[in-house]
Amino acid sequence: MENISIGIQKSGRLSEKSLDLLKESGIILANGSRKLLSSSRNFPLEAVFLRDDDIPQYVFDRVTDVGIVGENVVREKGHDLQIVERLGFARCRMSIALPRSVDFGSLDQLNGKRIATSYPNILETFLAETHVDAEIHVISGSVEIAPGIGLADAIFDIVSTGSTLISNGLKEVEVVMESEAVMVTNPGLSPDKQEILEKLLFRIRAVRKSHDHKYILLNAPNDRLDEIIKVIPGMKSPTVMPLAEEGWSSVHSVLNENEFWEIIDRLRELGAQGILVIPIEKMIT
């Protein structure tokens, strides 16, 4: 069977998260990211370590079959690539920021202004859609210093926590797009490679789903059992087993992380005791 090749950022947090995801998916890479190419010993996959800006081009040119990269980079490069999975990490937003001293009311204030950015294509599309006539000043490196040195009136850049903006006397005034790590491919993989990709996605989805859920065990009074079961339906339905102590049952189920604390509070109100919460390593549905 053919191997599938995957482009991964060669350094940085996105690289670490990508490698962690593959490891949790049971894929062992020889020598990690210490060389350009790294083959898996237990899965038909070869990792190619690249600059993040180069990954969309490599996938588009079919040098690699798939790639893990920020959605903002994919959008900026503009290649016709298919997003096959959103990975949920490396989340950020692309925003316009102004000096804190500037009162901001609407995007109309950007007309005639200079906006510094390393992402001119995303910004140009946004300005056209919002009918703003501003000058785009393309720079690389530390975009956030541009207003302070008189190079631009505003910036358009990646924002994660906002601390970099604050330290440079800027404020975020308009979110243009939300971004996260995505897996992309060039449509037209061979049937063998498509099959490998589906197996890879199956593993990744099982890992990601496990991160979003918790396994719980609890002791429930039988006279409140029906109410408790309604609160925690589980993947299909909870597992219920009688305890040695008469009038009590053990209930096992899976909770979504987003609803976890609300459900736990409700279970306690219904008389549940001895609630144990266990992380899930993989979740196959």
pLDDT in tens, 100-124: 999 998 999 999 999 999 999 999 9
Q: Residue 284 falls within a domain, yes or no? A: no
Domain count, the chain: 3
Instruction: Evaluate if pTM is beyond 0.75.
Output: yes
Q: Do residues 229 and 106 share a domain? A: no
| For range 204-224, the mean pLDDT | 89
Q: Do residues 34 and 174 share a domain? A: no
Among 53, 95, 93, which Cα is nearest to 73's?
53
Band of residue 142 on the pLDDT scale cut at 50, 70, 90: confident
Q: Do residues 185 and 82 share a domain? A: yes
pLDDT at residue 32, as a whole number: 56
Q: Do residues 50 and 62 share a domain? A: yes
| For range 180-192, the mean pLDDT | 93
pLDDT at residue 34, as a whole number: 58
For residue range 30-48, list pLDDT tens digits in order: 865 557 889 898 999 999 9
Q: Residue 285 falls within a domain, yes or no? A: no
Q: Do residues 62 and 201 share a domain? A: yes
What angle do helix axes 191-211 and 13-24 make, rounded to 10 degrees? 100
Q: Do residues 12 and 83 share a domain? A: yes
Q: Do residues 16 and 156 share a domain? A: no
Cα(246)–Cα(264) distance, integer angstroms: 24
Which token pair is 91? Answer: 């989340």
Which range of residues forms the domain containing residue 146?
92-178
pLDDT at residue 164, as a whole number: 86
| For range 22-36, the mean pLDDT | 80
Q: Residue 82 falls within a domain, yes or no? A: yes
**Around Cβ 155, how many Cβ atoms within 10 Å?**
29
At 245, is the secondary structure helix, strand, or coil? Answer: coil
Q: Do residues 142 and 23 share a domain? A: no
pLDDT at residue 29, as a whole number: 87
B/e letters for 36-58, b = 16+ CB within 10 Å, e = fewer, are eebebeebbbbbbbbebebbbbb
Q: Do residues 146 and 185 share a domain? A: no
pLDDT > 80? residue 146? yes
pLDDT at residue 233, as a whole number: 67
Among 245, 242, 247, 278, which Cα is nearest to 260's?
278
Q: Do residues 54 and 40 share a domain? A: yes
pLDDT > 80? residue 256? yes
pLDDT > 80? residue 20? yes
Q: Residue 83 falls within a domain, yes or no? A: yes
For residue range 45-95, list pLDDT tens digits in order: 999 999 999 999 999 999 999 999 999 999 999 998 999 999 999 999 999
pLDDT > 60? residue 245? yes
Location of structure tokens 């909870």: 238
Mean pLDDT, the chain, as a whole number?
A: 90
Q: Do residues 105 and 240 share a domain? A: no
